[in-house]
Chain A
């Protein structure tokens, strides 16, 4: 039975897989139709007809992850690392009967490469579904507090 704690644990584990670069295990958390979305507008509704920083399906996420390890991926020489600092997730919906689970988590995210360090803050929203007795990500949405600022490279996942 999926409880609020199951959701919270899932979100912590997800961030931990990113921080430890267990990419395949992280991808396995997604539903086959799962999406990763970084909007470019305040309270954006539409990922397709409004501009986004990222709106990616599993195929595109796999491309990103394989690229990170590529022999000729020069922007990963040296490699990036990341760190997620999460506030306790706020459970918005936990409805096992309907199979709907939603949470919103405030975060600080750090990405480093070589001597450079960049820090971002925002909110991660998780739309999860139950597959068998596991949770899977239907949508992970990242709203940065300064989504409209000009950033340098963001190469990993928030």
Chain B
């Protein structure tokens, strides 16, 4: 029985000021509505332009449940289509990435399409003469997604024809992407390898919330980070330098006071980041030669400004997290209400020392891999929550830490770093983007 249907009031009722109903995590109907409304109404990360460096290069992705393919056209432009042949629906690209040459050719009946999606040729074309073919959607070739923005090489798309524009949607939150790109002395990032993929048996939003959950590391990761510190203290002997590995694990055990003072910044539309004043990434040892390169490229003042901004996790609503200081993007790809594919990508800072790439790759496998002990700690919590939320005794999830009555939604603010306000911010955006294409959107009802 449909409980929520297309009823904006019922959907809005799932989100209170500082609580959310468990159905947002466990109800398959809510998940279906997210795929039909939330994801199409939002700007979703598709990939990075460095994955499409040559004409004919393509990548495939999913926006919510919709398979898409992005390609680099002969004139250098980037195009995005739904990944199906207009003839009988066969997927036009089946690999995560590749080069299709001058055109896409469907493997079933050999219809072909230019890399801007337009129909190039059909074998035995005569057979369509006088059939009215030219009046069908198939005649236009691959179905295009019009709302595509490439921002400093990051490709985002919005499936809905109408909605909030890119600039309004992201606003100042783009400063985290800016900072990550600026960390390259050439102002350029490159993806050079496949992501680490990790299947999670939990709802995608648990992962997103966890990115700004600063009260869990010292508790949930005592087992991994805490043990790493303990073993190192015992085994270090008289070595002076802390190994890169211990530098990466150690800060997870920082006390509450550290996270409190480091702060959280929230932005409109559900974006926000931890680590405003400083972060767990602040005290890594310097990499030889890097500062010199940065000063040469940007000048003394600007170089220090860029490197002094060491944000922790930036959530781009709805489903990615960017870590500028270690050049990682995590994509939380919803598969089912209780299944999420996490792809963690590393960008290489073009022109920067290799050591930085080595560190980013190391961080990624320590924290984001199915073999990562930090990952094991987190997934265990998500799985237990996915199970626990089925209980009926209390149907609400509590997000009240440092809540203030009358909290304004959709503002920019810097707050205490242990606040759960970014989670409240996300859920405010969630209700808005779930319902904005329904008859009585939640925003208007307020």
Q: Which residues of A contact B (CB under 8 A)?
A: 38, 40-41, 48-55, 59-60, 62-64, 66-67, 70, 72-75, 148-155
Given A41-B193, A53-B365, A74-B380, also A59-B375 (CB < 8 A): no
| CB-based nearest A residue for B369 | A53
Residues of B within 8 Å of A155, CB to CB, are 376
Contact of A150 among B197, B243, B384 (CB under 8 A): B197
* A150–B387 CA distance with the chains assembled, in angstroms: 22
B99 to chain A, nearest CB (A): 18
What are 24 A-to-B residue pairs whose CB atoms are below 8 Å?
A41-B194, A49-B354, A49-B361, A53-B196, A53-B371, A54-B369, A63-B224, A63-B228, A64-B373, A70-B227, A73-B223, A73-B377, A74-B220, A74-B223, A74-B384, A75-B223, A148-B197, A150-B197, A150-B198, A150-B370, A152-B199, A152-B200, A152-B370, A154-B371
* A154 in contact with B370 (CB, 8 Å): yes
Contact partner, A151, options B199, B364, B381, Cβ 8 Å: B199
Q: Which residues of B contact A62 (CB under 8 A)?
A: 231, 235
Interface residues of B in 9-68 (CB under 8 A from A): none
Cα–Cα distance between A55 and B198 once the two chains are bound (Å): 17
CA distance A66 to B259 in the complex (A): 27
* B341 contacts partner chain A, Cβ-Cβ < 8 Å: yes
Interface residue ranges, B against A (CB under 8 Å): 193-201, 220, 222-224, 226-228, 230-232, 235, 243, 245, 249, 341-343, 346, 354, 357-358, 361, 364-365, 369-371, 373, 375-377, 379-381, 384
Contact partner, A66, options B199, B231, B369, Cβ 8 Å: B231
- Chain B residues with CB under 8 Å of A55's CB are 365
- Which residues of chain A are within 8 angstroms of B249 by Cβ–Cβ distance? 63
Which A residue's beta carbon lies closest to that of B234? A62
B222 partner, pick from A52, A72, A153, beta carbons under 8 A: A72
- Pick the residue among A51, A75, A150 that contacts B341 (CB under 8 A): A150
Chain A minimum-CB-distance residue to B223: A73
List the B side residues contacting A74 at CB < 8 Å.
Answer: 220, 223, 377, 380-381, 384
Q: Are B235 and A153 in contact (CB under 8 A)?
A: no
Task: Give the distance to chain B from A2, nearest Cβ to Cβ, in Å.
Answer: 30
Q: Are B365 and A63 in touch, CB under 8 angstroms?
A: no
3 A-B pairs closest in CB distance: A150-B197, A75-B380, A73-B223
B358: which of A49, A53, A66 is its contact (CB, 8 Å)?
A: A49
Besides the known contacts A59-B243, A153-B379, 16 further A-B residue pairs in the complex with CB atoms under 8 A apart: A48-B361, A51-B346, A53-B365, A53-B369, A53-B371, A63-B224, A66-B227, A66-B230, A67-B223, A67-B224, A72-B226, A75-B223, A148-B194, A151-B198, A152-B199, A154-B370
With most chain B CB atoms within 10 A of its CB, the pick from A38, A40, A52 is A40
- Nearest-neighbour CB distance to chain A for B132, whole angstroms, equals 44
Chain B neighbourhood of A38, CB < 8 A: 371
Q: Residues of B contacting A60 with CB < 8 Å?
A: 245
Query: Which residues of A have CB within 8 Å of B194?
Result: 40-41, 51, 148
Whole-angstrom CA separation of A8 from B370 in the bound complex:
30
Q: Could you say which of B198, B231, B343, B375 has the most chain A C-beta atoms within 10 Å of its C-beta? A: B231
Q: CA A155 – CA B361 in complex, angstroms?
A: 20
Q: Tell whether, in the assembled complex, residue B364 and residue A63 are in contact, meaning their CB atoms are under 8 Å apart.
A: no
CB contacts (< 8 Å) of B364 on chain A: these are: 51
CA–CA, A67 and B252, complex, Å: 15
| Measured CA separation A72–B195 after assembly (Å) | 30
Partner of A51, one of B193, B201, B377, B384: B193
- Cα distance, A74 to B224, chains bound together (Å): 11
Q: Are A50 and B193 in contact (CB under 8 A)?
A: yes
In the bound complex, what is the Cα–Cα distance between A60 and B346 (angstroms)? 22
Residues of A within 8 A of B201 (CB): 152
The residues of A that contact B371 with a CB separation of less than 8 Å are 38, 53-54, 154
Checking A67, A75, A149 against B379 with a beta-carbon cut-off of 8 angstroms, the contacting residue is: A75
Q: Is the CB of B357 within 8 A of A63?
A: no
Chain A residue with the shortest CB-CB distance to B357: A49
Q: For the complex, what is the distance from the CA of A48 to the CA of B354, rounded to whole Å?
A: 10
Would you give the shortest CB distance from A120 to chain B, in whole angstroms? Answer: 11
